[in-house]
Structure 1
Amino acid sequence: MNILIALVIILAVITAGHLAITLGLIRRLRAHTDLLDQLADTTDMLLPTGTPTPAFTTGTLDGAAITQADLRHPAAIALLAVDCPHCRVNLPEFVAYVRGAGFPRDQVLAVVTVDENTDPTARRDMLDALTPVATVVCEPAADGAVTTAFDNQAFPAFYLTGPDATITTGSHAVRKLPNTTTIPTPAHH
């Protein structure tokens, strides 16, 4: 009987320890979520409204050269990192956003950054999700042409531009972009 009581006490102590660890993890996750929400709400690390689309020259996933002048406006621009969990969360929302807003593929630029430790499967999945809806650029995380031009300091970053090629909105979360019903398609030049 004493052995049974001792086992129950030991199990109670172990259970209490696991409960304390679980509560600590929940507290940390809430703090992390709060930080991500603060990042999504801040525009301090984004280019301000009214800024002209920054100049860049790079290559697309299809092998074509592209500059900021080649992007048709109004446009949606996404700066994403494969290794960024918040980017992966926002990816399907961004795809749904540009489809729902009626952006043609040539009015959407998606820049995906990678480094030497990026999981090739995660890279392929992100590129495959974006290719049907966007002109896609894949560049190194350290010194990519587009992320450098945009002075990107935090991922993800989403921008909308107006017909005059100036930034009208910037956000770190798709849910913070304005509800847009239909994007006017500009006449070809």
Structure 2
Amino acid sequence: MPLLIAVVSLLGVLCLLTLVLTLGVIRRLREHTKLMDALYEAIDLMGGPPTGLATLGKGELVGDFAATTLDGDQVTRELLPEGAVVAFLSADCGGCRDQLPEIASWAAGQDRRQIVAVLDATSGDPEELVTALSPVAQVIVEDELTTVGRAFGLKVFPTFYQVSGEGRLLAVEGRISRLPVGSPA
């Protein structure tokens, strides 16, 4: 019986220690998120894109491009409406998959014509992305991100752009929620 009490006590202490460590990690992650948000805000105040996301920055003109959505509609720089959001996602991108529920939820509360999802199909099957985004966005699947990706100066996935009616970049972010229009629905 004393052995059983000792084992149960030890197990209780280990559980308590694990709980304290877990709470410490969660607290540290929240601090890290606040620091990253502050960094993105500082970069935005300087007028440039978040480091490494794109070669084009706020205020720059998107290059010419022409693409066809899965619905057969044409999308060009001139056809993008004021405030349109263009999201570049890839099938093998962990950050893209992690943000997919947030992106789909946000886009569901928007006008579908305002959202363009450009999906890279070179490194995997984009079917999961297509299924999630087709009801809420205009979806373009490219075998090679040369046309639209180059026009936007894309460097990494995921990257989200907000564009003016004249084709100028209003914002470039690594998360949909950091765009001026990207607050959760």
TM-score after normalising by structure 1:
0.63
Q: Distance in 1 between matches of 2:133 and 2:166?
A: 25
Q: Distance in 1 between matches of 2:85 and 2:3?
A: 68
Query: Helix, strand or coil: the match of 2:166?
Result: coil
Residue 179 of structure 2 aligns with which residue? 177
Of 61, 79, 87, 2:88 maps to 79
Tell me: higher relative CO, structure 1 or 2? Use CA pairs within 8 A at least 6 residues apart.
1
Instruction: Name whichever of 159-168 and 12-21 sits farther off.
Output: 12-21
Output the amino acid matched with 2:145.
G
Query: Helix, strand or coil: the match of 1:26?
Result: helix
Residue 15 of structure 2 aligns with which residue? 15
Residue 186 of structure 1 aligns with which residue? none
Output the amino acid matched with 1:54.
G
Seen in structure 2, the aligned counterparts of structure 1 residues 60 and 29 have a Cα distance that, compared at 3 Å, is same
Question: Over residues 140-181 of structure 1, what are the superposed CA-to-partner deviations in whole Å (9 max), with x where a residue is unaligned?
Answer: 5xx51223432323443322222322222333333443359x
Residue 113 of structure 1 aligns with which residue? 120
Query: Helix, strand or coil: the match of 2:180?
Result: coil
Residue 145 of structure 2 aligns with which residue? 144
Q: Distance in 1 between matches of 2:11 and 2:87?
A: 51
Output the amino acid matched with 1:72.
L
Q: Distance in 1 between matches of 2:38 and 2:154?
A: 17
Q: Distance in 2 between matches of 1:89 and 1:39?
A: 22
Seen in structure 2, the aligned counterparts of structure 1 residues 169 and 7 have a Cα distance that, compared at 3 Å, is closer
Seen in structure 2, the aligned counterparts of structure 1 residues 19 and 114 have a Cα distance that, compared at 3 Å, is farther
Is the CA contact 1:40–1:173 (under 8 Å) kept in the aligned structure 2? no
Residue 165 of structure 2 aligns with which residue? 163
Is the CA contact 1:80–1:156 (under 8 Å) kept in the aligned structure 2? yes
Q: Percent of aligned positions with the same letter in both sequences?
A: 32
Seen in structure 2, the aligned counterparts of structure 1 residues 166 and 27 have a Cα distance that, compared at 3 Å, is same
Seen in structure 2, the aligned counterparts of structure 1 residues 2 and 111 have a Cα distance that, compared at 3 Å, is same
Seen in structure 2, the aligned counterparts of structure 1 residues 40 and 94 have a Cα distance that, compared at 3 Å, is farther
Residue 53 of structure 1 aligns with which residue? 62
Q: CA RMSD in A?
A: 3.6
Which structure 2 segments of 5+ residues have no match? Answer: 44-48
Q: Distance in 1 between matches of 2:4 and 2:178?
A: 57
Seen in structure 2, the aligned counterparts of structure 1 residues 89 and 51 have a Cα distance that, compared at 3 Å, is same
Residue 6 of structure 1 aligns with which residue? 6
